[in-house]
Amino acid sequence: MFIKALKHQNPALISATRRLWQQEKIAPDSWVIDVDQVLDNGRRLLTVAEQYGITLYLMTKQFGRNPWLAEKLLALGYQGIVAVDYKESRVMRRAGLHVAHQGHLVQIPSSLVETAVAHNTDIITVFSQEKAREISAAAVRLGRVQAVMLKVYAEGDTLYPGQESGFPLTELDEVVTQLRQLPGIRLAGLTHFPCLLWNDALAQTLPTQNLQTLVTARHSLAQRGIEIAQLNAPSAASCTSLPLLADFDVTHTEPGHALTGTIPANQYGDQPERIAMLLLTEISHSFKGRSYCYGGSYYRRGHARNALIFTPGSDLPTEALLSKMDDSSIDYHLALQGEYPPGSAVILCFRTQIFVTRSDVVLVTGIQHGEAAIVARYDSLGNIQEE
């Protein structure tokens, strides 16, 4: 999906990755991350967000819940990490990093609610009154007041499979009345997902009906005299979409893919954020006219289409097409059209969620200055790997 953008925006990443692979410092099925470019993207996002009065939380799941990189980004000014599930929060807290937003997309399990409150989580998203009562009880036990945010939805909104949740907009008044009777919690925000989506036909990032639902919910509360501090509108946050969110008076959002430049809007390499990661793998074998490279990285919404093949002894890559992956099978290998020698390096660049893969994560600095150096290695879930 992003091979063209990668070649245009960050050819040095391709060269550095190939050199490190030739030196046997990178194994197949490794996402190689250009740390300096990620940080540059992060600064760009913060500059635009400050211009439009939007607060940014840090989304880390796309680059593998990586605490090393998260710490560097937090130092730039991100207001804490958004942990979309409880396992991500565990990784970040073990690393001593601040989790600012928890509970969206996955609610906090009952046994871990008190831990989240005790760790000074800025705000917790709730989908149900039952979860709100658990947070209330935990906050009372700890002698605290916990800020919470409601996820809302209306009929016709976009809800991804496996993510169906939220309070119906039609029941918002009743929900808020019950919530405000609970001690130890404070209603501080509203959220939904996805609030922006890329429209391929129009080549634009556009508001979804979900965003309108969110605005309607805020207006409904305002009519009751309830002002909220946070209108959180995640998905597709980038330098070019932040002004659009500002038009809807959004206060918070949570960039993830924009940090690595792998947003749909950047497939032609024309966005302010630059591509900052690629996948390095290797040809294993050929079978019936196709080459098979080592898998583990497949993500069914990744739109991976093209690969660069560096055959042994050649400095010029050949571009090959990926064969369609069967979603019912494990990605032990990825198939490429054409036959290439085993041991050839394969470089891909597509939209991923590293935390749902088996890939390694290799963090590299100095790429743009010709001084590439590996500074850390992690697995796809944010656990450090030894040499």
In single-letter form, the type of residue at position 22 comes to Q
Q: Is the predicted pLDDT of residue 37 greater than 90, yes or no?
A: yes
Q: For residue 323, give the DSSP letter.
A: P
Share of the chain above pLDDT 90, in %: 96
Tokens of 11: 């050819």
Angle value at C-alpha 137, between 132 and 138, nearest 5 degrees: 100
151: helix, strand or coil? strand
Q: Is the predicted pLDDT of residue 386 greater than 80, yes or no?
A: no
What whole-number distance in Å separates Cα of residue 155 and Cα of residue 113? Answer: 30
In single-letter form, the type of residue at position 52 comes to Y
Q: Is the predicted pLDDT of residue 343 greater than 90, yes or no?
A: yes
Please report the pLDDT score of residue 280 as a whole number: 98
pLDDT tens, position by position, 82-98: 999 999 999 999 999 99
144: helix, strand or coil? coil
210: helix, strand or coil? helix
Interval 12-38 mean pLDDT: 97
Interval 234-256 mean pLDDT: 98
319: helix, strand or coil? strand
SS3 content of the chain, % helix, strand, coil (to 5): 30, 25, 40
Interval 235-258 mean pLDDT: 98
Interval 16-32 mean pLDDT: 97
Please report the pLDDT score of residue 252 as a whole number: 98
Q: Is the predicted pLDDT of residue 284 greater than 70, yes or no?
A: yes
Average pLDDT taken over every residue of the chain:
97
Q: Residue ranges of the alpha helices (H) in the chain?
A: 3-9, 11-22, 35-51, 67-74, 86-94, 113-118, 129-142, 172-179, 209-223, 242-247, 257-260
Please report the pLDDT score of residue 387 as a whole number: 64
Tokens of 99: 């989790």
Contact assessment for residue 195 and residue 255, using Cβ atoms and an 8 Å cutoff: no
pLDDT tens, position by position, 59-73: 999 999 999 999 999
Please report the pLDDT score of residue 302 as a whole number: 86
Q: Is the predicted pLDDT of residue 303 greater than 90, yes or no?
A: no
What whole-number distance in Å separates Cα of residue 66 and Cα of residue 64? Answer: 5
Quote the pTM value: 0.97
CA nearest to 360, candidates 343, 371, 374 = 374
Contact assessment for residue 77 and residue 95, using Cβ atoms and an 8 Å cutoff: no
Please report the pLDDT score of residue 44 as a whole number: 98
Q: Is the predicted pLDDT of residue 113 greater than 70, yes or no?
A: yes
Q: Is the predicted pLDDT of residue 307 greater than 90, yes or no?
A: yes
pLDDT tens, position by position, 159-213: 999 999 999 999 999 999 999 999 999 999 999 999 999 999 999 999 999 999 9
Q: Is the predicted pLDDT of residue 276 greater than 90, yes or no?
A: yes
Comparing 120-124, 273-277, 295-299, 313-317, which segment has the lowest mean pLDDT? 313-317
Please report the pLDDT score of residue 301 as a whole number: 85
